[in-house]
């Protein structure tokens, strides 16, 4: 297993209420030239957690930080007008927090951050570093 020191939280940059699966995201990422889906986990609108790229494999989600990180994305991140917004449903909030707690348990030295903390992006459209600081 590779060394993990970051858990990076993302959104899929899809409109509020539009669900998508790992299979959908994999197709988008393959069309962009990726070798597989870039994220290790995706949290769907109903709170279902889907596994994407295997943890043993380097992700493709945060340029310059992929080698030692896990990529976790929630479906959403855009309001109805297409502007960045925290669109997490209550089920997503609960599932995302549980998943991140589990990952912190496995990778105890890893910091949880948002994609926006390492890139000039709004993603994940909320302050993940502060929200999950206590995990």
Question: Rounded to an integer, what distance in angstroms lies between the CA atom of residue 58 and that of residue 5?
Answer: 13
- What residue ranges do the domains of the chain occupy? 6-131
Share of the chain above pLDDT 90, in %: 99
Planar angle of CA 18, 74, 70, nearest 5 degrees: 150
Residues with catalytic function:
10, 39, 115, 121, 123
pLDDT above 90: residue 1: no
The pLDDT tens digits of the residues spanning 18-76 come to 999 999 999 999 999 999 999 999 999 999 999 999 999 999 999 999 999 999 999 99
Secondary structure element (H or E) that encloses residue 104, with its range? helix 90-106
The pLDDT tens digits of the residues spanning 86-133 come to 999 999 999 999 999 999 999 999 999 999 999 999 999 999 999 999
Cβ–Cβ < 8 Å for 58, 67 = yes
Helix, strand counts (H, E) of the chain: 3, 7
Q: β-strand 69-74 against 41-43: which pairing, if any? A: parallel
Question: Rounded to an integer, what distance in angstroms lies between the CA atom of residue 126 and that of residue 49?
Answer: 19
The pLDDT tens digits of the residues spanning 65-77 come to 999 999 999 999 9
Which option is the CATH number for 6-131: 3.40.80.10, 3.30.70.1070, 3.40.50.620, 3.40.50.300? Answer: 3.40.80.10
């Amino acid at each position: 297993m590779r060394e993990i020191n970051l858990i990076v939280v993302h959104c899929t940059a899809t409109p509020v209420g539009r669900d998508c699966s790992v299979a959908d995201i994999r197709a988008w990422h393959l069309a962009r030239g990726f070798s597989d889906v870039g994220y290790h986990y995706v949290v769907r609108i109903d709170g279902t957690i889907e596994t994407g790229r295997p943890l043993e494999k380097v992700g493709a989600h945060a340029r310059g930080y992929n080698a030692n990180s896990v990529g976790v994305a929630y479906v959403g991140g855009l309001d109805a007008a297409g502007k960045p917004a925290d669109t997490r449903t209550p089920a997503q909030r609960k599932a995302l927090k549980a998943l991140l707690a589990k990952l912190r348990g496995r990778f105890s030295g890893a910091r949880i951050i948002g994609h926006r903390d390492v890139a000039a992006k709004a993603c994940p459209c909320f302050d993940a570093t502060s929200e999950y600081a206590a995990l």
